[in-house]
């Protein structure tokens, strides 16, 4: 088993309580929480994390789009994730399991904007784990496509 730890204090400040609607809940093997063993994020909290942006085409949309969000690794670091995998769960309870090794610097982001606009739940939002498909051939595979979950609502970190 490969264990990757993002550290309890990778982001030195404790998580504050969300003031707006919760968009993302992270639970499981984490050490930085703000509610009953979970870390809950509203839009402002996600936007306060380091911003990552790229343009890419997808198999689900027409043309190239600009995605803005936070690197999946930065979300996991903010909550002090430790373990070897995550289960990402959508609003409709669809889920995928992803090894933490995918949360690399040039890997997927948790996008909260597409082309500068917030995504509605009908438009694959409000959050979408998406890879920069055009940047690397290994991202243009069935495996990476299957890990790109839209309408993301929850992440469960497993050891």
| Domain segments of the chain as ranges | 19-158
CA distances in angstroms from 60 to 50, 63, 89, 121, 148, listed in the order given: 26, 10, 19, 15, 10
19-158: CATH topology is: Sulfite Oxidase; Chain A, domain 2 (3.90.420)
Question: Per 3-state DSSP, what percentage of the chain is helix, strand, and coil (rounded to 5)?
Answer: 20, 40, 45
DSSP 48: H
Rounded Cα gap, residues 112 and 157, in angstroms: 21
pTM given for the model: 0.90
Tens-digit pLDDT string for the chain (159 aa):
233 444 444 454 679 999 999 999 999 999 999 999 999 999 999 999 999 999 999 999 999 999 999 999 999 999 999 989 999 999 999 999 999 999 888 899 999 999 999 999 988 999 999 999 999 999 999 999 999 999 999 999 998
């Amino acid at each position: 088993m490969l264990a990757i730890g993002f550290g309890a204090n990778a982001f030195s400040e404790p998580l504050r309580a969300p003031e707006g609607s919760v968009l993302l809940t992270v639970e499981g093997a984490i050490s930085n929480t703000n509610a009953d063993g979970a870390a809950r994020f509203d839009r402002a909290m996600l936007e306060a994390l380091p911003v990552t942006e790229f343009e890419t085409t997808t198999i689900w949309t027409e043309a190239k789009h600009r995605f803005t969000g936070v690197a999946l690794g930065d979300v996991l670091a903010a909550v002090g994730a430790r373990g070897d995998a995550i289960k990402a769960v959508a609003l409709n309870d669809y889920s995928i399991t992803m090894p933490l090794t995918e949360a690399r610097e040039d890997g997927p982001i948790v996008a909260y904007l597409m082309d500068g606009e917030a995504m509605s739940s009908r438009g694959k939002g409000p959050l979408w784990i998406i890879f920069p498909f055009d940047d690397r051939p290994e991202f243009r595979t069935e495996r990476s496509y299957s890990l790109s979950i839209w309408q993301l609502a929850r992440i469960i970190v497993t050891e």
